[in-house]
Amino acid sequence: MTNYPLASSTWNEEEIRAIHRVIESGRFTMGEQVREFEKQFADQMGSQYAIMVNSGSSANLALLAACRYRREPLMKPGDEVLVPAVSWSTTYYPVNQIGFTLKFVDIDSHTLNIDTNKVEAAIGPKTKAIFAVNLLGNPADWIKLRDIALTHNLLLLEDNCESLGASVNGESAGTFGFGGTFSSFFSHHISTMEGGMVVTNDESLAHTLKSVRAHGWTRDLPATNHVYNKTGREWDDLFRFVLPGYNLRPLEMEAAIGKVQLAKLNSFVNARRINAELFLSYMSELDGYRVQKEIGKSSWFGFSIVLEGKLKGRRPELIKELTRAGIESRPIVTGNFTRNPVISHLDHAEIGPLPAADEIHDEGLFIGNHHYDLTKELTLLANTLSDFKRRF
């Protein structure tokens, strides 16, 4: 029996009605609903442009492709991209798929985000970009990362797929880099079933994103644009392919749901933050368990726990206790990603020691957070952790 699940639905009858309105319209592929959702999303994030795609994974792919194929390219094949050693697989795969080289940087063991001190040490002659991640709702140190990027003339990109609603100094997470990505997968802060978004303030990047999103054609671009100007012959302009693009288009249903969900975002995030206050209060009374240190205002995607002291090495036993109590858990994202067998298939720079990522890999786990009151569930968690600790 599951007493404390990892994820839960944020839908009610409003989302169902939005789906039915799309069905009744007869237009299912990308159209007016998508355009409206993009505009609303950009406005809420404080960005000039938002381009919707079919997943957060595709958002990363589209962003990196647009950086390469922009009329004035921002990167070229062989360039190195600095990435944190802990993130989801689809932070990394697009880097190689677009022709760039991964260079893994260790994380800060407390924030779980890329260690800014180690970023500077990792910069080499081939380094052209930093692709930083906001992990589990917690923003990276974007003030320092901006300074580093400016000092070394590096492109700064942001994977914010887990951290919609987070902020630093009043700026929305996802908007600190030249481009930022978001996900609206089922378990995330808002859900459109599947869905993703890229935001930017650069018109040239936005136009390139629209082209690579849909086959690399010019159909969705204005007559005069930053990719390839239209001729005015509509029949030709609808089927002119100019970039090596993909089919990453979202559905009208997803966008219609997104409009409803976006209106609820602030209430969802506020509830998650209230839950986080209770979680932190409980955990402050338990030694042997380290929790994530907040930067700015986290949107608390979930709650990480790292075992230390006398509990170090006892994660398998703890997982059994959590499972017995009906508390779902999972690794902290992928742990140290470089320890996954797929690394042999990825083009990467030499991998040095990654002790903080290794610790997360071996001693970390993750508990869910939700958009509703978790007092009962968090009390169960605290009691289970306390009982476990007393055994050692």
Residues acting as catalytic residues: 188
Residue 15 binned pLDDT confidence (cut-offs 50, 70, 90): very high
Mean of the per-residue pLDDT values of the chain? 98
46 confidence band (pLDDT: 50, 70, 90): very high
Handedness of CA 62, 67, 70, 75 (dihedral sign): negative
| Same CATH fold assignment for domains 13-259 and 265-389 | no
The length of the chain in residues reads 392
In the chain the first and final C-alpha atoms are separated, in Å, by: 27
CA 367 to chain CA centroid, Å, is: 17
45, containing H or E segment: helix 32-45
43-46, Cβ contacts within 8 angstroms, sequence gap of 24 or more: 44/172, 44/262, 44/265, 45/172, 45/174, 45/175, 45/199, 46/171, 46/172, 46/175
pTM score? 0.97
CATH number of 265-389: 3.90.1150.10
DSSP labels for 337-350?
GGGSGGGGGS-BPP
Q: Is the CB of residue 158 less than 8 Å from the CB of residue 60? A: no
- Judge residue 284's burial from the number of C-beta atoms within 10 Å of its C-beta, 0-12 exposed, 13-18 middle, 19 or more buried: exposed
Domain with residues 13-259, CATH architecture: 3-Layer(aba) Sandwich (3.40)
Kindly list the domain boundaries of the chain, sorted by start residue: 13-259, 265-389
pLDDT in tens, 90-142: 999 999 999 999 999 999 999 999 999 999 999 999 999 999 999 999 999 99
The helix or strand, by DSSP H or E, that contains position 32, with its residue range, turns out to be helix 32-45
Rounded Cα gap, residues 378 and 276, in angstroms: 10
**Cα 63 to Cα 116: distance, rounded to the nearest angstrom:** 23
Residues in CB range of 244: below 8 A, 6 or more apart: 65, 69, 212, 216
- Tell me the mean pLDDT in the region 357-370: 98
The tens digit of pLDDT for each residue in 175-186 reads 999 999 999 999
